[in-house]
Amino acid sequence: MKVRKHWTVSALKDFETCPAKYQWSYLYDAEDWRKLGYRVVPSTGSPAMQRGTDIHQTCEDYLLGKVAIEGLHKEIPNAWRNLVRGLKDIGATPEEMWTLDDGWNVVPDNDKSMWLRMKIDAHYLPSQKALVVVDYKTGKPYTSNMEQVELYALAGFAKFDDVDYVQGELWYFDSDEPHEKTFKREAAPKLARKWEQRATALLEAKSYPAKLNRFCNWCPYNYGKGGPCTAPRDLAGRAA
Ligand code: SF4
């Protein structure tokens, strides 16, 4: 089994939703699966995830000048296309990997001290004191997603010494408007302690029990989908 010394917000979400899902997604390698009797690693992809990836990619390509505005994914509505165009017009930086150590200091990607890793879809500095971070989203807006904006703010304060405010924006292309929140630098220490506790629980976990949750029906590790997790089936059996 792999040993991971860093975390991402997606990994943390998976771990907190169901430790077993995290273990199978992030720690198991092909040999671990072979020992469980799987010759093919269960796929975590889905058409909805692929659509999200495709939409992200066209935005990245557009901001990088690889495609014209017409090259944006056809399912991005006009109002959002105009906002993406606006990002390009102001010179926003697309797709950067931001990596930090456990003291919230910026470190090179894959450095041995790397503790937190996040990909920033787009960011720009509207003034010396302010930073805007944009995250593209597809699907329904979930309140819990807003929390990840705190991490963008913490990383933004670490990267830009002069910045006093970070505005995080979640651009839900399937909805009507961005969800946004602004953070002041003074709030950073308290936010950092909260995330450190959660990250420690993940990185120091010794066991990864299955935890039933509302996403089990879509989980690729569900026994009913050909995966190894029998927890939903066992629960159904007990209820019968
Ligand atoms: S089916 Fe549910 S309990 Fe089992 S691994 Fe997936 S999310 Fe966890």
Q: What is the model's pLDDT at position 40?
A: 73
Is 53 among the domain residues? no
Distance 55 CA to ligand 1 centre (A): 28
Taking only the tens of pLDDT, the chain with its 240 residues reads 999 999 999 999 999 999 999 999 999 999 999 999 887 777 777 788 889 999 999 999 999 999 999 999 999 999 999 999 999 999 999 999 999 999 999 999 999 999 999 999 999 999 999 999 999 999 888 777 888 999 999 999 999 999 999 999 999 999 987 789 999 999 999 999 999 999 999 999 999 999 999 999 989 899 998 899 999 888 777 766
Could you report how far apart the first and last alpha carbons of the chain are, in Å? 36
124 and 186 together in one domain: yes
Residue ranges around ligand 1 (CB below 6 Å): 18, 20-21, 210-213, 215-216, 219, 221-222, 229, 231-232
120 and 107 together in one domain: yes
121 and 145 together in one domain: yes
**What is the pTM (predicted TM-score) of this model?**
0.90
Is 221 among the domain residues? yes
- In three-state secondary structure terms, 139 is coil
84 and 7 together in one domain: no
190 and 77 together in one domain: yes
133 and 165 together in one domain: yes
Please name which of 85, 149, 141 lies closest in space to residue 120, comparing C-alpha atoms.
149
**Atom number, ligand 1, closest to the C-alpha of residue 20:** 5
Is 129 among the domain residues? yes
Ligand 1 mutation target, pool 43, 216, 218, most atoms within 8 A of CB:
216
- The answer to whether 164 touches 185, Cβ cutoff 8 Å, is yes
74 and 184 together in one domain: yes
- The answer to whether 4 touches 27, Cβ cutoff 8 Å, is yes
Q: What is the model's pLDDT at position 240?
A: 64
Is 51 among the domain residues? no
80 and 195 together in one domain: yes
Q: How far apart are the C-alpha atoms of 2 and 78, rounded to whole Å?
A: 44
199 and 216 together in one domain: no
Is 49 among the domain residues? no
User: What is the sign of the dihedral through the CA atoms of 39, 43, 47 and 53?
Assistant: negative
Distance 105 CA to ligand 1 centre (A): 34
Contacts of 87 (CB under 8 A, 6+ apart): 63, 94, 122, 124, 134
**What's the chain's length in residues?**
240
**Atom number, ligand 1, closest to the C-alpha of residue 220:** 6
186 and 235 together in one domain: no
Q: What is the model's pLDDT at position 204?
A: 97
Q: What is the model's pLDDT at position 70?
A: 95
Is 60 among the domain residues? no
138 and 20 together in one domain: no
**Atom number, ligand 1, closest to the C-alpha of residue 212:** 3
In the Cβ-directed half-sphere of 53, how many Cα atoms lie within 13 Å?
6
Is 157 among the domain residues? yes
Q: What is the model's pLDDT at position 176?
A: 83
| Domain of residue 150, residue span | 65-207
**Atom number, ligand 1, closest to the C-alpha of residue 21:** 5
Ligand 1 mutation target, pool 13, 14, 17, 18, most atoms within 8 A of CB:
18
36 and 138 together in one domain: no
Distance 230 CA to ligand 1 centre (A): 8
Q: How far apart are the C-alpha atoms of 133 and 166, rounded to whole Å?
A: 7
Q: What is the model's pLDDT at position 235?
A: 79
Is 50 among the domain residues? no
User: What is the sign of the dihedral through the CA atoms of 33, 35, 38 and 39?
Assistant: positive
Ligand 1 mutation target, pool 24, 25, 212, most atoms within 8 A of CB:
212
Query: Measured in whole angstroms, how far is the alpha carbon of residue 7 from the centre of its chain?
Result: 10
Number of domains into which the chain is organized = 2
